[in-house]
């Protein structure tokens, strides 16, 4: 696998992926982390506003794709049927030829296969999609590896490490974690994994909601890890909730002059207040995503070194180190004396 310039590892964090989308220039989307696939959790994630009283209940947010992180196993059996016909010409699937780029590749697999009025890719991603439309998966992967714009955005989310570790140390090498995407395209569900030969067709969407069909597929895959691995993560890429709440508030505003019943007016005012509360919550969440990314990627080492220098000048660093060593020694002795140690 080619390095194509260095690509950093990226955390499976909704804050990081939200800011990645913004960095690429795409709009109209937001990222949710899914802790459960039960009905209540999916409803909470997808409800586009507060429950309605004056208007019908709030609609469900369209989910454009899922990103799944898991520990990669070479011998894992494919869950679906390999796509090798002309459907490949109608979707974006790129072979992964870049080390450490699977997070961005999974995200782009969702973005570049989304055709929804809520989603705007932006100029650069739209140009890249158009440029690579006729390419085969290998050429799409190579084109991605040479997109300096995408690589720079990807690497801007590198997490700072405080220490450098010796790469020649003989530690047991663990299998890496890997990101893949699940997307609905033309009435079918596909798994897009750049390490596989092509897209995997997971079956037809039987109802109007593809999430109901992909849920058992994901649950089965997660259960297959339960014996020896519990570290996996699932995120959804959906339309931006704020847009739907604002549209609902506009509809409520046009209704107010037509209501003669004081009870209905009070209900409308309450619903407007609830919508405003949801908007405030969404705005707070966006600020949180941005702050989390800054916290994750900021280099704290200069600050730490300055603190250590000040402590050393005051003669306080040595005693603090000795005290820490003593606490560690007592802890180890206590643990060694426990039954079964």
pLDDT, residue 165, reads 44
Distance of alpha carbon 21 from alpha carbon 64, whole angstroms: 13
pLDDT digits (tens, 9 = 90+) for 64-109: 999 999 877 765 677 789 998 899 888 999 999 988 889 999 999 9
Distance of alpha carbon 142 from alpha carbon 150, whole angstroms: 13
pLDDT, residue 257, reads 67
| From 97-101, 131-135, 171-175, 205-209, the region with the lowest mean pLDDT | 171-175
pLDDT, residue 295, reads 78
pLDDT at 133 over 90: yes
pLDDT at 139 over 80: yes
pLDDT, residue 164, reads 46
Beta carbons of 225 and 209 less than 8 angstroms apart: no
pLDDT at 51 over 80: no
pLDDT at 160 over 50: yes
What mean pLDDT, rounded, does the chain reach? 84
In the chain, where does DSSP find H-type helix? 14-24, 39-46, 102-111, 123-132, 137-145, 148-155, 210-225, 241-255, 262-297, 301-313, 317-336
Beta carbons of 210 and 189 less than 8 angstroms apart: yes
pLDDT, residue 166, reads 44
Q: Is 275 a catalytic residue?
A: no
Q: Which of 86-90, 112-116, 218-222, 314-318 has the highest mean pLDDT?
A: 112-116
Q: In what order do the strands lie in the sheet with 233-239?
A: 29-33, 233-239, 63-71, 177-185, 188-192, 200-204, 81-82
Beta carbons of 70 and 178 less than 8 angstroms apart: yes
Residues 6+ apart with CB under 8 A from 75: none
Beta carbons of 116 and 62 less than 8 angstroms apart: yes
pLDDT, residue 161, reads 54
Active-site residue (options: 102, 154, 289, 293)? 102
Distance of alpha carbon 108 from alpha carbon 129, whole angstroms: 10
| From 212-221, 224-233, 321-330, the region with the lowest mean pLDDT | 224-233
Residues 6+ apart with CB under 8 A from 230: none
pLDDT digits (tens, 9 = 90+) for 3-14: 456 888 888 888
Residue where the block lists tokens 């109608």 = 90
Residue 59 confidence class, pLDDT cut points 50, 70, 90: confident
Residue where the block lists tokens 């897009």 = 192
What is the distance, to the nearest Å, from the Cα of residue 255 to the centroid of all Cα atoms in its chain?
38
Active-site residue (options: 64, 154, 178, 289)? 178
Report the pLDDT averaged over residues 244-254. 87
pLDDT digits (tens, 9 = 90+) for 14-41: 888 999 999 999 999 999 999 888 888 8
pTM above 0.85, yes or no: no
Residue (of 145, 167, 219, 180) closest to 72 by Cα position: 180
Q: Which of 10-14, 186-190, 204-208, 337-341 has the highest mean pLDDT?
A: 186-190
Q: Is 8 a catalytic residue?
A: no
pLDDT, residue 292, reads 81
Residue where the block lists tokens 């691995």 = 229
pLDDT at 170 over 70: no
Burial of 63 (0-12, 13-18, 19+ CB in 10 A): buried
pLDDT digits (tens, 9 = 90+) for 208-226: 889 999 999 998 888 876 6
Number of Cβ atoms within 10 Å of the Cβ of 139: 14
pLDDT, residue 183, reads 97
Please list, residue by residue across 12-43, b when 16 or more beta carbons sit within 10 angstroms of its beta carbon and e when fewer do: bbbbbbbbbbbbbebebbbbbebeeeeeeebe
- Going along 72-107, which residue ranges are E strands? 81-82
Residue 27 DSSP class: B
Q: What percentage of the chain exceeds 90 in pLDDT? A: 40
């Amino acid at each position: 696998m080619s390095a194509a310039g260095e690509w950093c590892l990226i955390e499976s964090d909704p804050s990081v992926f939200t800011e990645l989308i913004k960095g690429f220039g795409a709009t109209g989307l937001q990222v949710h982390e899914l802790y459960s696939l039960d009905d209540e959790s999916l409803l909470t994630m997808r409800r586009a506003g507060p429950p309605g009283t004056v208007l019908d209940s709030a609609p469900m947010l369209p989910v454009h794709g899922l990103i799944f992180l898991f520990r990669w196993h070479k011998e894992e059996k494919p869950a679906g049927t390999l796509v090798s016909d002309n459907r490949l010409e109608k979707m974006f699937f790129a072979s992964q030829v870049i080390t450490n780029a699977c997070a961005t590749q999974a995200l782009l697999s969702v973005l570049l296969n989304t055709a929804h009025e809520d989603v705007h890719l932006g100029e650069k991603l739209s140009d890249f999609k158009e440029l690579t439309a006729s390419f085969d998966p290998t050429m799409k992967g190579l084109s991605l590896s040479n997109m300096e714009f995408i690589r720079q955005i990807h690497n801007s989310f590198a997490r700072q490490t405080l220490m450098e570790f010796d790469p020649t140390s003989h530690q047991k090498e663990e299998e890496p974690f890997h990101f893949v995407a699940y997307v609905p395209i033309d009435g079918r569900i596909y798994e897009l994994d750049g390490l596989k030969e092509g897209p995997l067709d997971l079956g037809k969407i039987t109802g109007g909601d593809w999430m109901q069909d992909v849920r058992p597929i994901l649950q089965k895959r997660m259960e297959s890890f339960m014996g020896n691995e519990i570290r996996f993560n699932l995120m959804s890429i959906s339309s931006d909730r704020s847009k739907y709440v604002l549209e609902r508030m506009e509809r409520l505003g046009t209704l107010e002059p037509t209501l003669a019943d004081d009870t209905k007016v009070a209900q409308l005012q309450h619903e407007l207040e609830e919508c405003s509360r949801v908007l405030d919550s969404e705005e707070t969440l966006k600020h949180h995503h941005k702050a989390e990314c800054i916290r994750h990627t900021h280099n704290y080492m200069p600050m730490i070194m300055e603190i250590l220098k000040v402590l050393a000048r005051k003669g306080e660093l040595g005693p603090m180190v000795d005290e820490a060593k003593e606490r560690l020694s007592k802890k180890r002795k206590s643990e060694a004396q426990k039954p079964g140690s």
